[in-house]
């Protein structure tokens, strides 16, 4: 949240995405006005807009930061069928104690898609500088920068065809070297007859190709966002899905003789929780740094938080409302069948600012 700043007023149209950098001190926003804006937090805790530029010729759907190991680098994707990589350039200092001029330079424009590019994400830094995009034509593309010092050169390494249009993707951030690279992709296809809307892909070192491991058939509604939980040592993966509700799925690799011979991981998929607290469409899900708390936003105007307790059962723990009023924290947990009471803890959340001029359009 901002103090004495109004992000929506700075953008002339609907904001589609907000992304924080690795340290949480910088924020990037993108919107239908085709602009990307960068905000920096001062030592006093105030947010100030430091950069603003027209990034695309169509609505900008997503914006994401690369790991700071590769510098101050952003990637964006748009309705104009392109994805772009941007790098911040800092000029010379005008004088002692003064800040140098900053501006963002488009290092490359990825034009392989024939339809709207719906999501873009940088891969785990342990794999080098990789970038994944997905599009409405149902193709996932993996790019790599061979020289991290030259961001104008990107090579298309892989194209993976999905049977349905893609709306969102997430890299598995697992630090376990025994876990191959993994990507989850969601589809916003509205026809339940087309089957599952979440697909899990894994990179096979033997064939040097991305292989579909699993289709999560329990999710047949349009998927708006998807996010792997940070994995700091678990033997299984946790995936959060934003659809008509919030779903939390465990993906456990199964080591049997067939998977060992083929080199393709077999997954045991279990839905651990399903929350209908928003009573509306859910648009975004994200995790904290340790992967222990999940946050979601929906058309009810609330940010809801969920946490796993000591018996591995997920429960709602907090609700934040934009008008700073109290909210009842209750849930119909379809997965566990448990009644959940209002959360009463010691944590306090303070409203620092508000967003006005929303033009009666839901902000996602």
- Three-class SS string for 79-146? CCCCEEEEEEEECCCCCCCCCCCEEEEEEEEECCCCCCEEEEEECCHHHCCEEEEEECCCEEEEEECC
The Cα–Cα gap between 185 and 171 comes to 9
Per-residue model confidence (pLDDT) at position 79? 97
pLDDT in tens, 196-209: 999 999 998 888 89
Which among 146, 21, 30, 153 has a CA at the least distance from the CA of 88? 21
CB-CB contact of 198 with 184 (8 Å): yes
Is residue 141 scored above 60 in pLDDT? yes
Average pLDDT over residues 331-358: 44
The Cα–Cα gap between 219 and 241 comes to 9
Q: Give me the residue spans of the domains in the chain.
A: 162-364
Query: Which of 31-40, 173-182, 310-319 tops mean pLDDT?
Result: 31-40
Q: HSE-up of 322 (CA within 13 Å, CB side)?
A: 14
Burial class (CB in 10 A: 0-12, 13-18, 19+), 273: buried
Average pLDDT over residues 310-336: 68
Per-residue model confidence (pLDDT) at position 261? 62
Per-residue model confidence (pLDDT) at position 329? 53
CB-CB contact of 271 with 220 (8 Å): no
Per-residue model confidence (pLDDT) at position 363? 44
Cβ neighbour number for residue 212 with a 10 Å cutoff: 15
Residue bearing the bigger pLDDT, 42 or 4:
42
The Cα–Cα gap between 221 and 296 comes to 17
At the topology level of CATH, where does 162-364 sit? Methylamine Dehydrogenase; Chain H (2.130.10)
The alpha carbon of residue 262 and the mean position of all alpha carbons in its chain are separated, in whole angstroms, by 31
Which among 190, 253, 203, 196 has a CA at the least distance from the CA of 219? 196
Per-residue model confidence (pLDDT) at position 361? 43
Contacts of 159 (CB under 8 A, 6+ apart): 112, 139, 140, 141, 142
Among 58-62, 132-136, 204-208, the range scoring the smallest mean pLDDT is 204-208
The Cα–Cα gap between 183 and 123 comes to 9
**pLDDT, the chain, mean:** 85
Percent of the chain with pLDDT over 70: 80
Name the pLDDT band for 333 (thresholds 50, 70, 90).
Answer: very low
Is residue 318 scored above 50 in pLDDT? yes
Is residue 306 scored above 90 in pLDDT? yes
Q: HSE-up of 75 (CA within 13 Å, CB side)?
A: 28
The Cα–Cα gap between 120 and 98 comes to 35
Name the pLDDT band for 230 (thresholds 50, 70, 90).
Answer: very high
Average pLDDT over residues 170-182: 83
The Cα–Cα gap between 212 and 210 comes to 7
Is residue 279 scored above 80 in pLDDT? yes
What are the φ/ψ torsions at residue 339 (nearest 5 degrees)?
-80, 135
Is residue 6 scored above 90 in pLDDT? no
Per-residue model confidence (pLDDT) at position 231? 86
| 115 token code pair | 């339809």
Cβ neighbour number for residue 327 with a 10 Å cutoff: 17
What 3-state DSSP class applies to 297? strand
pLDDT in tens, 13-23: 788 999 999 99
The alpha carbon of residue 111 and the mean position of all alpha carbons in its chain are separated, in whole angstroms, by 22
CB-CB contact of 340 with 330 (8 Å): yes
Residue bearing the bigger pLDDT, 291 or 5:
291
Name the pLDDT band for 92 (thresholds 50, 70, 90).
Answer: low
Eight-class DSSP state of 306: E
DSSP 260-272: HHH---EEEEEEE
Which among 88, 90, 86, 61 has a CA at the least distance from the CA of 74? 86
Average pLDDT over residues 224-232: 93
pTM of the model: 0.84
Per-residue model confidence (pLDDT) at position 340? 36
Average pLDDT over residues 351-359: 48
Contacts of 213 (CB under 8 A, 6+ apart): 182, 200, 201, 202, 264, 265, 266, 267
pLDDT in tens, 98-126: 555 789 999 999 999 999 999 999 999 98
Characterize 240-251 residue by residue with b for buried, 16 or more Cβ atoms within 10 angstroms of its Cβ, and e for exposed: bbbbbbbbbbbb
Is residue 298 scored above 70 in pLDDT? yes
The Cα–Cα gap between 310 and 184 comes to 27
The Cα–Cα gap between 140 and 134 comes to 4
The Cα–Cα gap between 253 and 240 comes to 17
Is residue 153 scored above 70 in pLDDT? yes
């Amino acid at each position: 949240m901002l103090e004495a700043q109004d992000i929506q007023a700075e953008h002339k149209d609907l904001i589609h995405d907000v992304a924080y950098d690795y340290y949480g001190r910088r924020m990037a926003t993108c919107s239908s006005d085709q602009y990307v804006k960068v905000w920096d937090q001062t030592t006093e805790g105030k947010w100030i807009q430091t950069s603003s530029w027209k990034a695309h010729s169509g609505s900008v759907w997503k914006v994401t930061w690369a790991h700071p190991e590769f510098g101050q680098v952003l990637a964006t994707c748009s309705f104009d069928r392109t994805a772009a990589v941007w790098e911040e350039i800092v000029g010379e200092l005008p004088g002692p104690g003064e800040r140098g001029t900053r501006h963002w330079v488009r290092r490359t424009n990825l034009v392989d898609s024939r339809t709207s590019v719906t999501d873009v994400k940088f891969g785990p830094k342990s794999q080098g500088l990789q970038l994944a995009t997905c599009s409405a034509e149902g193709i996932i593309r993996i790019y790599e920068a061979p020289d991290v010092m030259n961001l104008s050169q990107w090579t298309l390494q892989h194209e993976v065809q999905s049977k349905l249009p893609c709306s969102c993707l997430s890299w598995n951030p697992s630090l376990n070297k025994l876990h191959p690279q993994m990507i989850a992709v969601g589809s916003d296809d509205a026809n339940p007859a087309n089957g599952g809307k979440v697909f899990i892909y894994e990179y096979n070192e033997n064939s040097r190709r991305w292989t579909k491991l699993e289709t999560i058939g329990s999710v047949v509604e349009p998927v708006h966002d998807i996010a792997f939980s940070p994995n700091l040592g678990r033997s299984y993966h946790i995936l959060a899905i934003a659809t008509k509700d919030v779903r939390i799925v465990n993906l456990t690799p199964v080591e049997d003789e067939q998977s060992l011979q083929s080199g393709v991981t077999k997954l045991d998929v279990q839905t651990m929780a399903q929350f209908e607290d928003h009573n509306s469409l859910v648009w975004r899900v994200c995790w904290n740094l340790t992967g222990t708390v999940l946050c979601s936003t929906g058309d009810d105007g609330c940010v809801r938080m969920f946490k796993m307790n000591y018996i591995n059962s997920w429960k709602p723990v907090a609700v934040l409302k934009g008008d700073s009023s109290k909210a009842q924290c209750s849930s119909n947990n379809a997965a566990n069948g448990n009644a959940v009471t209002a959360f009463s803890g010691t944590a306090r959340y303070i409203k620092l600012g508000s967003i006005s001029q929303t033009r009666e359009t839901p902000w996602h």
